[in-house]
Structure 1
């Protein structure tokens, strides 16, 4: 029985990708000249939650943003606020927003989930 090597290519690529993503962590996803890292976005959310907790003793903890998100580098300071309920997300989230990216007038927002601390 002859096996077509092209038929094995996709499963092998998927396996290699899964191993790569399994070892990837948000701690390693730092900002570069081209992208705004999820580590830095999460830190903005954590700083916002810490300020909110200090004022209201809410006990919130910022979790990790969706690891699939990739956004261009922001050229202005990030802004944070609670995600409005009108956005239809379940649970509480912090919206981290960039009003202008490097090299373009593009904008983006990343929602970072939060949970009650222990």
Structure 2
């Protein structure tokens, strides 16, 4: 027992669990965040943004690199192919981004459609 009378075992178990999960959290990346039957993966969302930027870069006006979408983003699986376009300036974002759009998500109570903004930067 600790000096305050609390058992040490629960505290030790919590600390052990935190240290054991650290390598898993450190190894997580957008490369591993793939679509499932319920959610659309950030990997595929970023890929759609990359396809859009590849076409834009081919125009030769300005060259862009695609960054990662917000890693906290969670959206339902899209039932139709994704679309992408420049995020309109009227959205008020502080930096240029590509808007990846799902016009029909799989049946779910929270969202019928969604868009994810993927930031870009000049090369």
TM superposition score category, shorter chain reference: 0.7 to 0.9
Tell me the residue number matched to 1:113. Answer: 119
Tell me the residue number matched to 1:103. Answer: 107
Tell me the residue number matched to 1:50. Answer: 54
Secondary structure of the corresponding residue to residue 30 of structure 1 = coil
Number of positions where the alignment pairs a residue of Structure 1 with one of Structure 2: 116
Tell me the residue number matched to 1:73. Answer: 77
How far apart in 1 are the matches of 2:22 and 2:38? 24
1:62 aligned onto 2:72: no
Structure 1 or 2, whichever has the larger Rg, is 2
1:91 Cα deviation from its structure 2 partner? 1.0
1:20 Cα deviation from its structure 2 partner? 3.4
TM-score scaled by length of structure 2: 0.81
How far apart in 1 are the matches of 2:9 and 2:93? 42
**Unaligned ranges ≥5, structure 2:** none
How far apart in 2 are the matches of 1:95 and 1:29? 19
How far apart in 2 are the matches of 1:14 and 1:67? 21
How far apart in 1 are the matches of 2:93 and 2:115? 14
